[in-house]
A and B are shown apart, each in its own frame.
Chain A
Amino acid sequence: MKKWWLLVPLALFLALASFLLRGLFSDPRTLDSVLVGKPVPAFTMVDLFEPAKHYDAALLADGKPVLLNVWATWCPTCYAEHQYLNSLAREGVRIVGLNYKDERDKAMAWLSKLGNPYAVTLFDPDGMLGLDLGVYGAPETFLIDGQGIIRYRHVGDVNERVWNETLKPLYNGLKP
């Protein structure tokens, strides 16, 4: 009598173990964005520096790719990534800031002290645009193409490695 079927539990165990092992090394903190491939949700936001100035989603659809960087002064990782954003801006990468659940004075002081990499900074004190974007922390960075479609979302800080390995190829691919 062949006893091959005795190996079935072992095979099942190995399949399950390999599946669970994969899960062990995945980062539970990075949630897939449901918005990738969708347009930026409609919004009306005020400028951080000029409360009378309003922007809508057209700001993020002017024919060129743009990074939308969600940040706040209460966020230590934002501090860590800020200088890298400055150098990206110097290279000519267009970055729009979204100041998320923060205070206007603090945010303005932060930018005057650390430098301002943002072409425009939107002010979102109650986090409602953040909510529409599915933001659940800071920093987060969205790569948006010239038509206002979200192409990629990065959770966590943008550093040299993240930029060179992930964002830059995508960004360059979107250039007209």
Chain B
Amino acid sequence: MIRKLLFILLLPAAFLSMTAHCAVDAYTFDDPAKEAQFNQLIKELRCPKCQNQDIADSDAELAKDLREKVYEMTQAGKSRQEIIRYMKARYGDFIHYQPPVRMDTIILWLAPVMVLVGGLIFIFVRASRDPAVALSEEEKKRLRRLLDEKEPRP
């Protein structure tokens, strides 16, 4: 039983380890901070060719080029923001998985909050409704009678 449960719980982990492998070629860095920046950026930049993968995961030729570019720029000491700006200047906001807060994207940022607030308001309004009307004496008596009634014998 316990074994079964463990198996079921660990099943997703097996899939995770399958998808976590990257298409990344071996890049060497002279500085762990740069390596960390590179690894973070390639998971944040989206491949314009395959559209639903980051450039770390994608095997597209273009993704390789973009990884190469991020590597070069990182090695040259460019900051995270500089690299993101460089990519956006060429491929637009599409390339970054964090959309900027602008008038036409504001809904993306506000929607979850609005759903949450809306839900809370709904619950609150529901809860603050008048409680059910109290029973009259007559009704209470009748209810008690009904509850006290023995089940009829077959």
Secondary structure at the B interface, as helix, strand, loop or mixed, is: helix
Chain B residue contacts of A126, Cβ below 8 A: 65
Stretch with Cβ within 8 A of B (4 or more), from A28-36, A46-54, A59-67, A141-149: A28-36
* CB contact between A28 and one of B51, B61, B66, B90 (< 8 Å): that residue: B51
Are B61 and A33 closer than 8 Å at their CB atoms? Answer: no
Chain A contacts for B91, CB-based, 8 A? 31, 34, 134, 136
B51, B62, B65, B92: the one contacting A33 at CB < 8 Å is B92
Most central of A29, A127, A136 by chain B CB within 10 Å: A136
CA distance A34 to B95 in the complex (A): 11
Residues of A within 8 A of B141 (CB): none
A137: chain B residues at CB < 8 Å are: 49, 62
A134 touches B65 (CB 8 A): no
Total interface residues on A, using CB and 8 Å? 17
Which of B61, B65, B66, B90 has its CB near the most chain A CB atoms (within 10 A)? Answer: B90
Within the complex, what minimum Cβ distance (angstroms) separates B101 from chain A? Answer: 18
State the CA gap A31–B90 with chains docked (Å).
11
**Considering the chains assembled together, what is the distance between the CA atoms of A38 and B66 in angstroms?**
22
Inter-chain CA distance A29–B62, complex, in Å, is 15
Taken together as a complex, chains A and B put the C-alpha atoms of A132 and B90 apart, in Å, by: 6
**B contact set with A: CB distance below 8 Å:** 48-49, 51, 61-62, 65-66, 69, 88-92, 94
Using a CB–CB cutoff of 8 Å, the interface residues on chain A facing chain B are 28-29, 31-35, 101, 126-128, 131-134, 136-137
